[in-house]
């Protein structure tokens, strides 16, 4: 492992054993940042459950002889998507459910598996829970982090990557090591954890020989990177007692995912319990510093940090040990927490909440910017207590709660038995992100459709949220393209719409689309000709369960084959030019050679009268012809004179 220090910040890079890489998978919107539960009870079929694993959804039947406690079932950590060879973790032990009938135990190196983050592709990030306050020697050499592979055919669990202990004696120094929370932001995974390290020299008055730290580790989930080799850490030394920390996000539509997230920390200082909140983007600079230092080799190992050793690697000179500053704000309205859970969704964050219990009463909180938080009591339910658990179904958007581990689920009305559609503030968000969980836009507001309501998918997705009000098609410098501009009746943002596809007839598609608040301009590349309507598809492929919005024009647009028409016109012009040229040339020649032509015609007349080779009979015939013509002319003149006299 390698650690980096920069100014007053301690930053880690880990060098690890590895065999394969992890992958980043697209998720449903409500599962894009964090999944608290993966198994959800059916409302219609007893013993039937819907399972969610890294974007894949399927159903299973769980007979009573396999598990008779539905609360345990909804808390399974499911590793793969094969319903007939389902591998899962329950109460810290690993199992495989074969053909939805037989449950078998799986062998794992540790007695209790600890904290698991399901990644998909049969892989999971594992962080063991180490709780050894008295430095008792342990029988197992733990790893600080592990990447596990669950093989459903071999029925085995394999450690394929690890950040191992530095020496067999680490058990003596590591008193506590546990994961507190995690969050996925894009292709990165952030894990917040806590640890206690035994020291040889005192550092404070409360626990003089113990250094307590909270640290955030960032992993890259890109396909071309090995998961644990990308680990980078920033930490904070603490002087207070028991800690709870969770990532929470806020509703700020103009910010990206990182800017919406913050870390909520609960700690005790003396007799006071305090909530503090620090914005996650403040750590980004430190993580980026680590990346730059990694390239330069300016680093120190985590081993040297934990055990105060001198850096011996000449390529990674040691720097003074420092810690990150949590620029946090104290927030009120939240008392001592007995059960603490946050719910997050991707854009537009129409569902995010912090749930906690206090004095047998259930509270829900929404977070704004800065230190603002709004908490209100949830109406009490019979038998509600500290064991009550909330289950957010990331597929349907419904929320369930369990009164205890022996009763079947019930719906929690406050969080809503169905998804809170009213949090979608416009038609595009309502349909694009809410339609899959039962939301529809009616009377200028987003609400849940009733179970007996008959509706058409096309009715709410085609020419419903927005319409084309004008368009124009202008020439472009390339003959095979035209400049198309489309105007809509409503405004849309880049956060709502990530992908835009524009078609005008078959094989005619827009490229280089430029968007404004309510306009689209693109280069239309066309191969088909005729009159076609414009079709625009708005979508957001960040999540698997979004609904695309289709808009079509009421009028058609004419696309002519300019290239073919031009060649035809050019051909006609060419033929006309040739004809004119030929005629002109003939006329010029005739005019310029008129004397010669006349002389030639005269010569031909003479030659015609006295052409050599004619016989006597020919001459006689000509003489007869001339005599006949002359007598005819004389007779005609006499007749005319006679008539005049008469």
Average pLDDT over residues 519-548: 92
Q: What's the pLDDT at 19?
A: 47
Instruction: Specify the DSSP class assigned to residue 31.
Output: G
**Which of the residue ranges 46-60, 114-128, 235-249, 356-370 would you say has the lowest mean pLDDT?**
356-370
Check residues 225 and 488 and name the one with the higher pLDDT.
488
Strand ranges across the sheet with 410-411? 389-392, 399-402, 410-411
pLDDT tens-digit profile of 106-141? 988 777 788 999 999 999 999 998 888 888 887 777
> Do the first three CATH levels of 2-411 and 466-563 match, i.e. the same topology?
no
Q: Is the model's pLDDT at 518 over the cut of 80?
A: yes
Given 3.10.20, 3.90.1570, 3.30.70, 2.60.40, which CATH number is that of 466-563?
Answer: 2.60.40
Cite the beta strand spans of 455-529 per DSSP E.
468-475, 481-488, 499-504, 509-515, 519-525
Instruction: Give the model's pLDDT for residue 45.
Output: 79
**What proportion of the chain, given as a percentage, has pLDDT over 70?**
68
Return the domain boundaries, the chain. 2-411, 421-460, 466-563
How far apart are alpha carbons 503 and 509 in whole angstroms?
A: 5
With 70 as the cut, is the pLDDT of residue 381 above it?
A: no
pTM of the model: 0.79
* Average pLDDT over all residues of the chain: 76
3-state secondary structure 329-387: EEECCCCCCCCEEEECCCCCCCCCEEEEEECCEEEEEEECCCCCEEEEEECCCCCCCCC
Give 447-466 pLDDT, tens digit per residue. Answer: 998 878 778 899 999 999 99
> What is the dotted CATH code of the domain comprising 2-411?
2.130.10
Is residue 72 over pLDDT 50? yes
Length of the chain: 646
Which among 117, 166, 120, 111 is positioned nearest to 143, based on CA atoms? 166
For residue range 495-514, list pLDDT tens digits in order: 788 899 999 988 888 888 99
Q: Which two tokens stand for residue 338?
A: 């007995």
Residue pair 16/371 in contact (Cβ under 8 Å)? The answer is: no
Within 8 A by CB and 6+ apart from 139, the residues are none
Buried b (16+ CB within 10 A) or exposed e, 121-157: bbbbbbbbebebeeeeeeeeebbbbbbbbbbbeebeb
pLDDT band at residue 7 under the 50/70/90 scheme? very low
Using DSSP bridges, classify how beta strands 143-151 and 123-127 pair: parallel, antiparallel or unpaired: antiparallel
**What pLDDT is recorded for position 585?**
77
- pLDDT for the residue numbered 22: 46
Cα–Cα distance, 207 to 557 (Å, whole number): 78
Best-predicted range by mean pLDDT among 163-172, 318-327, 334-343? 163-172
Query: Residue 271: pLDDT band by 50, 70, 90 thresholds?
Result: low
Distance, in Å, from the CA atom of 217 to the CA atom of 233, rounded to the nearest integer, reads 4
Predicted local confidence at residue 155, as pLDDT: 95
**Helix axes 562-592 and 594-609, enclosed angle (nearest 10):** 60
Beta bridge partners of 515: 520
| pLDDT tens-digit readout, 577-629 | 778 777 887 777 777 766 665 666 565 555 544 444 444 444 444 444 444 44
């Amino acid at each position: 492992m390698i650690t980096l220090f920069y100014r007053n910040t301690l930053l880690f890079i880990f060098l690890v054993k590895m065999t394969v890489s992890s992958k980043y998978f697209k998720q449903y919107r409500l599962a894009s940042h964090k999944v608290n539960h993966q198994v959800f009870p059916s409302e219609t079929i007893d013993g039937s459950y819907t399972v969610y694993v890294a974007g894949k959804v399927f159903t299973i039947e769980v007979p009573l002889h396999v598990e008779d406690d539905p609360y345990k079932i909804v808390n399974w950590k499911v590793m793969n998507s094969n319903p007939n060879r389902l591998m899962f973790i329950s109460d810290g032990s690993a199992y495989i459910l074969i053909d939805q009938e037989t449950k078998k135990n799986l062998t794992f190196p540790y007695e209790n598996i600890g904290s698991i983050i399901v990644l998909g592709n049969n892989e999971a990030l594992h962080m063991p829970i180490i709780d050894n306050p008295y430095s008792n020697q342990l029988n197992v050499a733990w790893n600080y982090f592990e990447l596990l592979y669950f093989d459903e055919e071999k029925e085995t669990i394999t450690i394929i990557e690890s950040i191992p202990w530095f020496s067999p004696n680490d058990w003596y120094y590591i008193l506590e090591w546990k994961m507190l929370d995690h969050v996925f932001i894009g292709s990165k995974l952030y894990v917040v954890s806590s640890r206690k390290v035994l020291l040889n020299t005192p550092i404070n008055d409360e626990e003089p020989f113990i250094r307590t730290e909270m640290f955030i580790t960032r992993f890259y989930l890109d396909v071309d990177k090995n998961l644990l080799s990308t680990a980078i850490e920033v930490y904070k030394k603490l002087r207070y007692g028991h800690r709870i920390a969770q990532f929470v996000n806020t509703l700020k539509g103009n910010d990206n995912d990182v800017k919406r997230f913050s870390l909520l920390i609960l700690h005790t200082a003396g007799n006071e319990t305090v909530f503090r909140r620090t914005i996650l983007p403040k750590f980004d600079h430190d993580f980026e510093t680590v990346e730059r230092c990694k390239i330069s080799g300016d680093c120190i190992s985590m081993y040297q940090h934990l055990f105060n050793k001198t850096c011996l690697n000449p390529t990674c000179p040691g720097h003074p040990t420092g810690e990150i500053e949590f620029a946090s704000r104290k927030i009120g309205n939240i008392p001592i927490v007995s059960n603490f859970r946050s719910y997050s969704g991707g854009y537009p964050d129409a569902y995010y909440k912090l749930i906690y219990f206090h004095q047998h009463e259930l509270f829900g909180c929404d977070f704004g910017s800065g230190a603002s938080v709004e908490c209100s009591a949830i109406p009490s339910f019979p038998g509600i207590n500290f064991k009550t658990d909330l289950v957010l179904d990331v597929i349907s958007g419904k929320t369930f709660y369990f009164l205890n581990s022996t009763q079947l689920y019930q719906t929690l009305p406050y969080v809503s038995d169905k998804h809170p559609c009213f949090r979608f503030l416009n038609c595009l968000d309502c349909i694009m992100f809410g339609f899959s969980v039962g939301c529809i836009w009616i009377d200028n507001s987003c609400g849940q459709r009733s179970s007996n309501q008959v509706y058409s998918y096309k009715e709410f997705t085609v020419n419903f949220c927005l319409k084309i009000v004008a368009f124009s098609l202008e020439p472009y410098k390339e003959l095979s393209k035209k400049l198309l501009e489309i105007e809509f009746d409503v405004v849309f943002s880049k956060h709502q719409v990530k992908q835009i596809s524009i078609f005008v007839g078959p094989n005619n598609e827009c490229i280089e689309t430029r968007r404004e608040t309510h306009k689209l301009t693109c280069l239309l590349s066309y191969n088909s000709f005729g009159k076609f309507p414009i079709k625009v598809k708005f979508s957001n492929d960040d999540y698997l369960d979004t609904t695309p919005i289709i808009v079509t024009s009421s009028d058609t647009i004419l696309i002519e084959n300019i290239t073919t028409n031009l060649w035809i016109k050019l051909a006609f012009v060419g033929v006309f030019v040739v004809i004119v040229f030929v005629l002109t040339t003939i006329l010029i020649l005739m005019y310029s050679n008129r004397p010669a032509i006349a002389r030639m015609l005269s010569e031909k007349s003479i030659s015609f009268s006295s052409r050599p080779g004619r016989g006597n009979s020919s001459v006689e015939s000509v003489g007869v012809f001339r005599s006949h013509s002359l007598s005819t002319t004389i007779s005609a003149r006499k007749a005319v004179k006679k008539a005049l006299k008469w």
